[in-house]
């Protein structure tokens, strides 16, 4: 046995026999002997002295020569542990007051998106060895990671300054939204509020090591969970506030944290030219302390499946269940409502804007499942949104911009009510960008109920129309913020399925598309009449094809029925005879709708169900329904539109002539 191994074994024995003695005193008494034996240099001695040691961070289990059964924990053990923790928290609190470290703020500078990546760490969120009993602890851990990541993602740390994990996170025990997660304590995995956030501290330490940062304080876990960074000796356990992770960098850097359904990715970026992890790493810490050889692991008990009834932690067995779906719903469509009604499970959680919207003058949120048991409503933010859109938007207010901001408020309220146990989410598209930014999809699969084109395609379509009609103000009046475009784009590409009846939307996501069927109104017998009016079923706006419709009416000398009051400008319909459409379908013989954007073609569905011919563009999302008398033309192709209208008018004229004979 070498001197180094013998020395570390002595450390194990010392900690077992003197558990209540301050490790700081031990470090002071033994450090000179340690560095003499290991041949460390003076700089390394200084690094070691800066590391505060605490008595509750147990020594690596792989150094134990024999395995002994863990004793059953009693209430007295829990009390002693709590008192020791309280003592060290108080001591560290005083020390933090006397020797404060900086608090770092988020930096949203767009330059960081193209900055150099120093290093990346990717770790799995779910444990494949979890049982049905203890999987809920992992779900709680992931919820705690979501909350912690929101505090760390995007912060910028200045060169030469200290980063402290707990300075950024704060006390996780009170009013921060943390839930029961998994914590390794004295050889067991126990339920603990904010448990599991050490996965982020592990990743931060790992990336700091790869980036060549100076490690000021780091503590290893007492035991090793298979598959974790502790197995590679790249872990850093934390416990408020005395077991901290601290490091500093020679350059400014930014912390970025993102999730997918299976893993967490932590990266450091810098705008400075420095060595990255692909180059020779810096020698920043004593190898004797930070040896990265693989650590062995042993089987750990956990309080949800070990079955030790006499243990003081056994009361945690009154646990919730996991693996159900959360439905985060906004405006209802008949097609979406039918899907939710048939796929919803009684154990699922449902969040709707209002349970009884009819009382407040709206049926936009009347989902069939709103009366079920596990349904929550976002009544106040939903009522505020309806009020602002109906009464609070003047002529100078851009409704599109206002809608986005109100959707964000509703999504933020919904994010706080999503049960952390939910493993799958089905979400309405209007709430998707804000929920993505809130990180609620971390560790979860999710589907999206699509009700419009994604922002990036919507903007392309508006730009296309504005190029053809630059005189239109409504085609260039607003674009969504870049952050919303990016958030929605990333969320949609991460979604498991995209659900919609709209064919154009589904064509944009061929690998994720799940087609629903348009709900045609019940077929009605259209009264026969000699009048064969032409209906333009939209407002006189450029995105609805008003310019093409006006040109058609002028060239063919057609009177029009027009649905909708919005208009491009005063006098837009000059030289065209128009009448407001008041649901007088018996007077309509043809529907023409050359829209650039149409997400919910209800009037076209109604016309088709009554046997009225429809000529529209592919933007209406009705591909595959040509047998219903729907003729589709390319978007913005006026010549093709004119051709189809001419053929239809000619056919109608021939039919009228034959009937007169």
Tell me the pLDDT tens digit for each residue of 118-136.
Answer: 999 999 999 887 777 778 8
Which fold would CATH assign to domain 533-660? Rossmann fold (3.40.50)
CA distances from 165 to 122, 242, 254 (A): 19, 11, 14
Residues 648 and 590 sit within 8 Å (Cβ to Cβ): yes
Q: Which ranges of the chain have pLDDT less than 50?
A: 1, 3-68, 277-292, 297, 654, 657-661
pLDDT of residue 396: 66
Give the angle 457-461-465 at the CA atoms, nearest 5°.
170
- The two tokens of residue 484 are 């919303």
Query: What is the pairing mode between strands 180-185 and 188-193?
Result: antiparallel
pLDDT of residue 22: 41
Residues 420 and 140 sit within 8 Å (Cβ to Cβ): yes
- What is the C-alpha separation between 514 and 494, in angstroms, rounded? 15
> Which residue is associated with the tokens 């020594």?
59
Phi, psi torsion values for 616, nearest 5 degrees: -145, 180
Sign, CA torsion 385/390/396/398: positive
Number of H helices, E strands in the chain: 17, 23
Strands (E), 218-347: 246-248, 253-259, 263-270, 301-302, 325-328
Determine which helix (DSSP H) or strand (DSSP E) holds 605, and give its type and residue range: helix 602-609
pLDDT of residue 653: 65
Say whether 639 sits in a helix, a strand or coil. Answer: helix
**Angle formed by the axes of helices 23-38 and 3-17, to 10°?**
170
Residues 268 and 207 sit within 8 Å (Cβ to Cβ): yes
Q: What is the pTM of this model?
A: 0.80
pLDDT of residue 59: 35
Say whether 163 sits in a helix, a strand or coil. Answer: strand
Whole-angstrom distance between the N-terminal and C-terminal Cα of the chain?
A: 114
Sign, CA torsion 63/68/70/76: negative
- What is the C-alpha separation between 296 and 62, in angstroms, rounded? 5
- The two tokens of residue 565 are 């009051």
Which fold would CATH assign to domain 325-515? Rossmann fold (3.40.50)
- The two tokens of residue 182 are 């998994």
pLDDT of residue 225: 64
Enumerate the CATH 3.40.50.2000 domain ranges in the chain, comma separated.
533-660
Say whether 346 sits in a helix, a strand or coil. Answer: coil
Residues 462 and 439 sit within 8 Å (Cβ to Cβ): no
pLDDT of residue 531: 62
pLDDT of residue 66: 38
Closest alpha carbon to 265 in 522, 464, 490, 84 = 490
Q: Which DSSP symbol is given to 143?
A: H
Phi, psi torsion values for 375, nearest 5 degrees: -115, 130
């Amino acid at each position: 046995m070498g001197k180094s191994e013998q020395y570390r074994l002595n450390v194990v024995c010392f900690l077992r026999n003197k558990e209540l003695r301050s490790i700081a005193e031990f470090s002071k008494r033994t450090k000179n002997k340690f560095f003499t034996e290991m041949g460390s240099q003076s700089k390394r001695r200084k690094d070691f002295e800066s590391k505060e040691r605490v008595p509750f961070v147990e020594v690596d289990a792989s150094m134990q020569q024999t395995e002994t059964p863990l004793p059953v924990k009693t209430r007295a053990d829990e009390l002693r542990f709590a008192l020791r923790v309280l003592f060290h928290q108080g001591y560290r609190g005083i020390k933090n007051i006397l020797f404060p470290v900086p608090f770092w703020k988020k930096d949203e500078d767009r330059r960081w998106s193209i900055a150099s990546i120093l290093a990346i760490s990717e770790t799995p969120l779910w444990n494949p060895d979890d049982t049905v009993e203890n999987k809920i602890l992992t779900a709680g851990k992931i919820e705690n990671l979501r909350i912690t990541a929101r505090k760390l993602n995007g912060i910028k740390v200045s060169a030469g300054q200290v980063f402290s994990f707990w300075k950024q996170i704060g006390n996780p025990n009170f009013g921060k939204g943390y839930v029961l997660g998994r914590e390794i304590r004295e050889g067991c995995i126990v339920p603990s509020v904010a448990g599991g956030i050490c996965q982020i501290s592990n990743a931060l330490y790992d990336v700091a090591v790869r980036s060549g940062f100076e490690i000021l304080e780091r503590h290893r876990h007492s035991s090793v969970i298979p598959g974790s960074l502790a197995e590679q000796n790249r872990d850093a356990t934390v416990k408020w506030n005395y077991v901290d992770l601290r490091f500093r960098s020679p350059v400014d850097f930014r912390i970025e944290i993102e999730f997918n359904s299976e893993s967490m990715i932590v990266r450091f970026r810098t705008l400075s030219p420095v060595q990255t992890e692909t180059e020779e790493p810096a020698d920043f810490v004593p190898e004797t302390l930070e040896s990265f050889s693989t650590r062995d692991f042993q089987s750990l008990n956990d309080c949800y499946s070990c079955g030790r009834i006499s243990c003081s932690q056994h009361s945690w067995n009154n646990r919730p269940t996991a693996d159900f779906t959360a439905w985060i719903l906004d405006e209802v469509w008949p097609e979406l409502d039918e899907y939710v009604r048939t796929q919803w499970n009684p154990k699922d959680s449902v969040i709707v804007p209002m349970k009884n919207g009819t009382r407040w003058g709206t049926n936009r949120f009347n989902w069939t499942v709103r009366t079920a048991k596990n349904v929550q409503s976002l009544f106040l933010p939903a009522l505020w949104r309806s009020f602002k859109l109906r009464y609070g938007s003047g002529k100078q207010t851009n409704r599109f911009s206002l809608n986005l901001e109100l959707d964000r408020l509703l999504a933020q309220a919904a994010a706080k009510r999503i049960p952390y146990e939910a493993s799958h989410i089905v979400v309405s598209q209007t709430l998707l960008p804000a929920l993505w930014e809130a990180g609620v999809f971390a560790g979860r699969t999710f589907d999206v109920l699509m009700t419009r084109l994604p922002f990036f395609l919507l903007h392309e379509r508006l730009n296309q129309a504005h190029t053809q009609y630059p005189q239109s103000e409504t085609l260039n009046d607003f674009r969504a913020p870049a952050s919303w475009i990016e958030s929605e784009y990333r969320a949609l590409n991460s979604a498991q399925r995209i659900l919609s009846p709209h064919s154009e939307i589904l064509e944009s996501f061929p690998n994720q598309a799940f087609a629903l069927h348009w709900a045609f109104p019940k077929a009605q017998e259209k009264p026969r009449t000699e009048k064969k009016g032409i209906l333009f079923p939209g407002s006189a706006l450029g995105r609805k094809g008003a310019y093409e419709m006006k040109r058609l009416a002028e060239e063919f000398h057609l009177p029009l029925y027009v649905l909708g009051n919005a208009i491009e400008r005063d006098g837009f319909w000059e030289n065209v005879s128009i009448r407001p459409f008041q649901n007088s379908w018996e007077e309509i013989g043809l529907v023409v709708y050359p829209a650039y954007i149409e997400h919910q073609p209800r009037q076209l569905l109604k016309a088709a169900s009554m046997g009225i011919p429809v000529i529209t563009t592919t933007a209406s999302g009705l591909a595959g329904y040509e047998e219903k008398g729907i003729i589709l033309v390319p978007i913005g192709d006026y010549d093709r539109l004119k051709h189809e209208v001419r053929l239809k008018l000619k056919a109608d004229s021939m039919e009228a002539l034959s009937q007169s004979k």
